Amino acid sequence: MTYSPAQYYFGLLRQTVKLQLIFLLLLSLSRLLFFWQFSPSKASFPGRELAEAFFLGLRIDLVLVCYLMALPLLVIILNHLARNVVPLPWLPRLFRGYFTAVYLIVSALVGIDFGFYSYFGEHITIMLFGFFDDDTWALVQIGLKNYNVTLITGLILIYTLALVWLVGRFFRELRPSVAKTGSMKTAAVYLVLLLLVGVGARGSLGLFPLLKDVPEVSTDVFVNAIPRSGVFAFEKALKQYLKDKNGGYDLIKRSGYKGRVPQAFRDYLGRDRINTADLASNLVRTTQQNEAAAAKPPHVVVVMVESFGAPILQYQSPTFDILRRLKRHFDEDILFTDFISGGNGTIASMEPFLLNVVARPGSIAYGQSRYQRTAFPQAAARVYKKAGYETNFVYGGDLSWRNVGSFFKEQGFDHVEGKSDIERLYPGAEEHDYGVYDRYTYDFVLHKLEQAEKPQFVYILTTNNHPPYVLSKSYDSKPLQFTEALQAHITGDMELAHRRLQDYQYALDMAGRFMDGVKASDLGERTVVAITADNNTIEGIMHYDNPPQEGKQVPFYLYLPPYLKTEPFDRNVSASHNDLFPTLYGRTLSNTAYIAVGEDLYDPAALHCGYNDAGVIVSAGGAFKTGHAANAQQRACEQKYNAALAVTEYLVRQAHEQAKPVWEKGSE
The share of the chain scoring above pLDDT 90, in percent, equals 65
Where among 213, 243, 273 does a domain terminate? Answer: 243
Please check the confidence at residue 541 and state whether its pLDDT lies above 90: no
Is residue 285 included in any domain, yes or no? yes
In terms of Cα–Cα distance, which of 486, 494, 434 is closest to 465?
A: 434
pTM across the whole model: 0.83
Residue 522 lies in a domain: yes
Tens-place pLDDT, residues 101-117: 999 999 999 999 988 88
Do 40 and 149 belong to one domain?
Answer: yes
Listed ranges 134-148, 173-187, 210-224, 348-362; the one with the highest mean pLDDT: 348-362
Residues in Cβ contact with 543 at an 8 Å cutoff, skipping those fewer than 6 apart:
39, 40, 43, 222, 489, 490, 491
Stretch among 189-198, 206-215, 492-501 having the lowest mean pLDDT: 206-215
pLDDT tens per residue, range 363-373: 989 988 889 88
Position 39 in a domain: yes
Longest dimension (CA), the chain: 103
Is residue 110 domain-shared with residue 209, that is, in the same domain? yes
3-state SS record for 272-335: CCCCCCCHHHHHEEECCCCHHHHHCCCEEEEEEECCCCCHHHHHCECCECCCCCHHHHHHHCEE
Same domain, 230 and 270: no
- Of 211, 243, 275, which closes a domain? 243
> What confidence score (pLDDT) does residue 178 get?
61
- Model pLDDT, residue 147: 67
Residues 197 and 342 both lie in one domain: no
Q: What angle do CA 248, 137, 146 make, to 5 degrees?
A: 110
Same domain, 239 and 265: no
In a domain, 248, yes or no: no
Statement to judge: residues 275 and 237 lie in one domain: no
Average model confidence (pLDDT) across the chain: 90
Our count of domains for the chain comes to: 2
* Shared-domain flag, residues 294 and 164: no
- Judge if the upstream peptide bond of residue 547 is cis by omega within 30 degrees of 0: no
For residue 250, tell me if it sits in a domain.
Answer: no
Residues 213 and 281 in one domain: no
Say what the pLDDT of residue 568 is. 81
Is the residue at 254 inside a domain? no
* Band (133; pLDDT cuts 50, 70, 90): low
Domain that holds residue 56: 5-243
Same domain for 474 and 347: yes
487 and 627 in a single domain? The answer is yes
CATH number of the domain at 588, please: 3.40.720.10
Is residue 268 domain-shared with residue 179, that is, in the same domain?
Answer: no
Write the pLDDT tens digit of every residue in 141-165. Answer: 666 666 677 888 898 999 999 999 9
Report how far residue 198's alpha carbon sits from residue 211's, in angstroms, rounded to the nearest whole number. Answer: 14
